[in-house]
Chain A
Amino acid sequence: MATEEALSNGNETDWSDRYYHIDQILDKPGPRTDPSFLAGEEVKRFLRETCKILVIGAGGLGCEILANLALSGFKDIHVIDMDTIDISNLNRQFLFRPKDVGKSKAIVAAEFIMNRVPGVKVTPYFGRIQDKDEEYYMQFNLVICGLDSVEARRWINATLVHMVDPDEPESLKPLIDGGTEGFKGQARVILPTVTSCYECSLDMLNKQTAFPICTIANTPRLPEHCIEWASVLEWPRVFKDKKMDTDDPEHIGWLYKTASSRAKEFKIEGVTWSLTQGVVKNIIPAIASTNAIIAASCCNEAFKIATSSAAYLNNYFMLIGTDGVYSFTFEHQKRDDCPVCGGQAITVNVSKEWTLERLIEMLVEKQDVQIKKPSLATPKRQLYFQAPPQLEELTRPNLEKTLSELVDDGEYITVTASSLPFDLTLQVKYD
């Protein structure tokens, strides 16, 4: 048995043999290790002293991910979650105890890991990922997502793709995304701008179950139909523009009461408080074992990417546990028409005196773009829209304006056109 001295980082918590098993992988190259792999102290030092990893989400997946990372030797872990602990989380989110109900998931999870795994620093942030800017995300080597929200995933994906700066290799942050839905799950490795991104695969998502509105209105057969009737049709009828808050127990209570009387009328059984909450919040039952498998896969990839000790996942792992245990790994292709990572970007050098119309003429004449009837906008304003008529009329006066009145030096213009299957990005540089 190897008896190695504690790493010379002055950290007394690194007792000898602490990482005995993991060091078997890091001490020497294997047949499938990357040529850039630096076996021994160097890779261990990177993993344990330098590497900074961000975990987004401290829920079902997040708890598993945090524990796995801490135990495999990541020591500088950050975690973001905007949620507080609910009593219904306790069956699977094992870093939380009944006394923690109502507290921040990120803060409680961080404290738990730090108490349990000596020498690991977990920095929590109790808030939204959108609160943080690119400078914040730039400090990490890797990002792991364990989220249940499509919207939040699309946001972090777009942010990381956008951060990639051709002149700055460090700006490319690998994103490992885990997701589960009942017995199904997936783990994937996204190398922003290199591999397919989250947005590229948006159409692969399982559809949310939605019932035809006329069924809900006329021929309810399921308790879910009664709950949707209460939330989709009755709520706006009774409360007009008042927004429904699915976290407000009073609102859920009203929906539950309304759905129950509807169910009684149609002799339907099964409307309960928790089903009401589940339907309006679109909750799919979370399965602890699915979370464990997906989190393990995500952390395995994080470890391989951080250490280059083995080939990493290329790029999509799918788990289907509904009938037996089936898994499948494939390379999801990047989409040319992906609005986040696809499309083309070109830099155009123009004179400040050019009118917008002249720029559009130049685009139409450009052989390599093959664009007809383009519409243009910057992130701040519409420049020229071909349709609908109201917007065409409103933006038409811009055609005669000089570019410098409309676009700053170095600013980006998004160009769409029906002849273009993707969108084109122009960066304007003035001579």
Chain B
Amino acid sequence: MIKIWSMKKNEDAAAKRRPKTSAAQIRVQKDLTELELSSTMKTHFPDPTDLLNFTLTITPDEGMYKGGAFVFSVNINTNYPHEPPKVKCTQTIYHPNVDLEGNVCLNILREDWKPVLNLNSVLVGLQYLFLEPNADDPLNKDAAEELRKNREQFIQNVKTSMRGGNMRGVQYDKVIVQ
């Protein structure tokens, strides 16, 4: 066998052993403890010993979704950051980029995810969806259509849905907080 050890002796950082904490776990620790949560974002860990599953509540303080509290589930698997976190809206909401099942159309959650991105990028991306709903990447086609055709009516619909209204046979969840 080759003598690898002799090469190792020359390295000053040689003498160390590392804890058996998974790379995903370390990355999640780093990502979470460096989260820059503005006053409009809050995380909740149902089981605080489990860092991989939590919820994120966004309460926009401007834009047409102001006054609502939108709750997302965030699930990170052990292949993080090779794979992006799985994010779903837990409520039925009226939004062009969120469907009635809670799926979210945000490029960095799928096709544009890279390991250099982190949880902060995801949070910022989600927050942005509420400030600038985007009619070009629709998941809720009706909402996107309305936003494109009649912005005033769209804003009205958002208000109705946030109060827990029923539109076109869809019962929306009440998300208004006072």
- Chain A: residues with CB nearer than 8 A to chain B? 34, 36, 46, 51, 141-142, 150-151, 154, 158, 161-162, 164-166, 169, 172, 174, 191, 193-194, 199, 202-203, 205, 207, 210-214, 217-218, 232-233, 236-237, 304-306, 308, 312, 339-341, 343-345, 375, 377-379, 381-382, 385-391, 394, 411-414, 416-418, 423, 425, 427
Contacts and interface: CB of A to CB of B under 8 A. Distances in A.
Interface in B96-141: 97, 99, 101, 103-105, 107, 109-111, 113-116, 137-139, 141
Nearest to A161: B18
Contact of A345 (B18, B35, B49, B114): B18
B114 A203 contact: yes
Interface string B23-44: 1011101101111010000111
Given A381-B49, A423-B30, A154 B79 contact: yes
A9 B19 CA distance: 42
Contacts of A345: 13, 16-18
Contacts, number: 176
A379 B78 CA distance: 15
A375 B29 contact: yes
Q: 10 smallest A-B Cβ distances: which pairs?
A: A412-B19, A345-B16, A375-B33, A169-B5, A416-B30, A339-B23, A214-B137, A339-B26, A166-B15, A214-B105
A385 B33 contact: yes
A412 B107 contact: no
Of listed B16, B48, B82, B105, residue having the most chain A CB within 10 A: B16
Contacts of A165: 17
B2 interface: yes
Given A202-B82, A212-B111, A390-B44, 20 more contacts: A46-B1, A154-B23, A166-B17, A210-B111, A213-B105, A214-B139, A217-B139, A218-B138, A236-B101, A305-B2, A312-B2, A382-B48, A387-B33, A389-B37, A391-B32, A414-B19, A417-B33, A423-B26, A425-B16, A427-B17
B1 A141 contact: yes
A150 B45 CA distance: 28
B19 A379 contact: yes
Contacts of B43: 388-390
Of listed A381, A411, A416, A417, residue having the most chain B CB within 10 A: A416
Contact of A193 (B8, B25, B49, B141): B8
A214 B138 contact: yes
A375 to B, nearest CB: 4
Contact of A416 (B7, B29, B99, B139): B29
Contact of B23 (A34, A194, A232, A340): A340
